[in-house]
């Protein structure tokens, strides 16, 4: 049968995915050649095309491996909130949204951190096909959260909420991607051990305040 001794099933695939994740994070898609990639993975140059078909298909696989479970987790957290009748708190909804993303940062050994940075970068990816790809992967979870926030903040104009969600999304994306640019502001200290729990509290406080900011100045100006 197709069953084998436990270890090596699809080991080459996994090693390619891991190496691609790290190299794409470091040098981008176009900046990572198949040769450097397969060298890092310790596999033959032709292995990528054999197992994935093309470089673009490999990029897609890299995202699918992490993104599909992450969005499932996001929706699951939201459904748990709704089942427990805690979905009326914007802060709780925000926390449910960002937690699956931040969890990547804690997984330094498994490469989750690499993927977190890669993911954050890809939101602003020049390559249109890649941007469309992750857009499609996100769309379902995004609609769920939009609906949940509309219920939790019934007094907020739809258009305003869209923009605030946009800002929220951006903050998370940047936080995941640019974990090394904090020192640009701080002036020093890379602080290489990341306290994801503390970061979650900081992000939640910042985003909850922003999302529920008073509307009056806007109404005045928009009139």
Partner DNA sequence: CTAGCATTCAAACGTTCGTTTGAACCCGGA
Partner DNA sequence: TCCGGGTTCAAACGAACGTTTGAATGCTAG
- Interacting residue ranges for DNA, rule: CB under 7 A: 1, 4-5, 10-12, 30, 32-36, 43-51, 54-56
Query: What is the closest distance, in whole angstroms, from the C-beta atom of residue 176 to DNA in the complex?
Result: 25
Q: Which does 147 bind (CB under 5 to 8 A by kind): DNA, a second copy, none?
A: none
Minimum CB–partner distance for residue 44 and DNA (Å): 3
Which tokens in the block code for residue 69? 């479970």
Cβ proximity to a second copy, 110 vs 126, nearer residue: 126
83 binds, among DNA, a second copy, none (CB under 5 to 8 A by kind): none
Footprint of a second copy on residues 117-156 (CB under 8 A)? 117, 120-121, 123-127, 131, 135, 138-139, 142-143, 146
* Contact of residue 193 among a second copy, DNA, none (CB under 5-8 Å per partner type): none
Q: Closest distance between DNA and the C-beta of residue 78, in Å?
A: 37
Of 11, 29, 7, nearest in space to 20 by CA: 29
Footprint on this chain of a second copy (rule: CB under 8 A)? 24-28, 30-31, 117, 120-121, 123-127, 131, 135, 138-139, 142-143, 146, 160, 162-167, 169-171, 173-175, 177-178, 181-182, 184-187, 197-199, 201-203, 205-215, 217-218, 221-222
């Amino acid at each position: 049968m197709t069953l084998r001794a436990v270890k090596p099933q699809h080991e080459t695939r996994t090693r390619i995915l891991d190496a691609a994740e790290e190299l794409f994070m470091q040098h981008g898609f176009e900046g990572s050649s198949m040769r450097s990639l397969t060298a890092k993975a310790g596999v033959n140059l032709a292995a990528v095309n054999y197992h994935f078909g093309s470089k673009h298909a490999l990029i897609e696989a890299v995202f699918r491996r992490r993104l599909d479970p992450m969005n499932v987790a996001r929706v699951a957290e939201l459904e748990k909130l709704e089942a427990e009748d805690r979905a009326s708190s914007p802060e709780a909804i925000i926390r449910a949204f960002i937690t699956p993303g931040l969890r990547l940062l804690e997984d330094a050994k498994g490469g989750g951190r690499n993927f977190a940075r890669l993911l954050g970068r890809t939101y602003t990816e020049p390559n249109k096909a890649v941007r469309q790809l992750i857009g499609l992967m996100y769309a379902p979870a995004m609609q769920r959260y939009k609906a949940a926030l509309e219920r939790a903040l019934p007094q907020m104009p739809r258009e305003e909420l869209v923009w605030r969600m946009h800002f929220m999304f951006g903050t998370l994306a940047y936080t995941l991607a640019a974990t090394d640019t904090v020192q640009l502001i701080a002036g020093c200290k890379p602080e290489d051990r990341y306290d994801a729990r503390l970061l979650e509290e900081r992000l939640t406080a910042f985003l909850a305040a922003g999302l529920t900011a008073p509307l009056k100045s806007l109404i005045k100006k928009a009139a």
